[in-house]
């Protein structure tokens, strides 16, 4: 394999997955490997599990020199330090996580927030490819992850799921988990999404919304119910977006 390939690893609250990516096409060139995130999500345990997954990917490509490596993570990441922790141990908060992984792996990595990686993947290989202006990706899951891209350039750590709406974090009422928790119909949930996306339009005047997360595979159930000025489309890569974005960003 040549240097137009890189490894992307996506660390989540329930699973850790990774693959080798063809950076030209955005296709996986190895099987996607997935393992369970260790119970409790503590730093030492996640690092150990991720190192084992990485060893399997390195063995699969049998390169003389390590491939570039990108890792995405469910936290705000600034200068390699994790400033939050979503569905993982709070021991990550304030941790020099990038350095921790680099020491464990013995190689340089590009370390980034998971929603930002997904947004970059959709901008480079998916629903927002060649889109101009401001693109906002939202991942609707346990919370609402967001990524901002302007003419394909990532503006990291937007965290727009935490905008206050009606006295609460927007994600408390509009994330897919709220629909499940409250047994909402698609129509009832769409009303909450309408409120959220209208607010984003008011604040940021985007040129395109891209909706990711597992629920985006059911986009025909709720996207047509939204009345927005901004075009809104489902994500293309969904479960692989973090891997693709992390790998692509490893080359920057």
With respect to residue 96, please indicate whether it lies within any of the assigned structural domains.
yes
Q: Is the dihedral of CA 9, 12, 17, 19 positive or negative?
A: negative
* 87 and 102 part of one domain: yes
pLDDT digits (tens, 9 = 90+) for 73-96: 999 999 999 999 988 999 999 999
- What is the residue whose two structure tokens read 């604040």? 203
- What is the residue whose two structure tokens read 């999404």? 193
For 155-159, the CB contacts below 8 A with 24+ separation are: 156/77, 156/112, 156/113, 156/116, 157/76, 157/77, 157/78, 157/113, 157/116, 158/115, 158/116, 159/76
Domain extent at residue 14 = 5-116+240-249
Mean pLDDT of 101-123: 97
- What is the residue whose two structure tokens read 């990532």? 154
* 97 and 135 part of one domain: no
Percent of the chain with pLDDT over 70: 99
* 60 and 103 part of one domain: yes
Q: How many domains in the chain?
A: 2
* 142 and 205 part of one domain: yes
DSSP H helical ranges for the chain: 43-61, 97-105, 114-125, 170-174, 176-181, 186-204, 241-249
* 11 and 106 part of one domain: yes
* 91 and 50 part of one domain: yes
Residue with the larger pLDDT of the pair 64 and 2: 64
CATH for 159: 3.30.420.40
pLDDT category at 70 given cuts 50, 70, 90 is: very high
Mean pLDDT of 90-104: 98
With respect to residue 122, please indicate whether it lies within any of the assigned structural domains.
no
Q: Does residue 124 surpass a pLDDT of 60?
A: yes
Q: What is the rounded average pLDDT for all residues in the chain?
A: 96
Residue with the larger pLDDT of the pair 3 and 61: 61
* 83 and 169 part of one domain: no
123, 135 Cβ separation under 8 angstroms = yes
With respect to residue 173, please indicate whether it lies within any of the assigned structural domains.
yes
């Amino acid at each position: 394999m040549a240097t137009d390939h890189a490894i992307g690893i996506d660390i989540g609250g329930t699973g850790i997955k990774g693959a080798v990516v063809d950076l030209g096409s955005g296709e996986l060139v190895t099987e996607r490997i997935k393992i369970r995130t260790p119970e409790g999500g503590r730093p030492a345990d996640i690092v150990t599990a991720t190192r084992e997954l990485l060893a399997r990917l390195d063995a699969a490509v049998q390169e003389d020199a390590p491939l570039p490596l990108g890792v995405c993570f469910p936290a705000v990441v600034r200068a390699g330090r994790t400033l939050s922790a979503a569905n993982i141990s709070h021991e990550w908060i304030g941790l020099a996580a990038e350095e921790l992984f680099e020491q464990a792996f013995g190689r340089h990595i590009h370390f980034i927030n998971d929603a930002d990686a997904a947004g970059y993947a959709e901008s480079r290989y998916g629903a927002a490819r060649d889109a101009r202006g401001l693109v906002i990706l939202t991942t609707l899951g346990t919370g609402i992850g967001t990524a901002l891209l302007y003419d394909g350039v990532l503006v990291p750590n937007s965290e727009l799921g935490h905008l206050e709406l009606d006295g609460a974090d927007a994600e408390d009422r509009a994330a897919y988990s709220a629909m499940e928790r409250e047994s909402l119909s698609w129509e009832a949930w769409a009303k909450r999404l309408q409120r959220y996306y209208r607010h984003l339009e008011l604040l940021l005047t985007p040129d395109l919304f891209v909706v990711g997360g597992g629920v985006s595979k059911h986009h025909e159930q709720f996207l047509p119910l939204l009345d927005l000025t901004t075009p809104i489309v489902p994500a293309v890569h969904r479960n692989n977006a973090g891997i693709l974005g992390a790998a692509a960003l490893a080359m920057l």
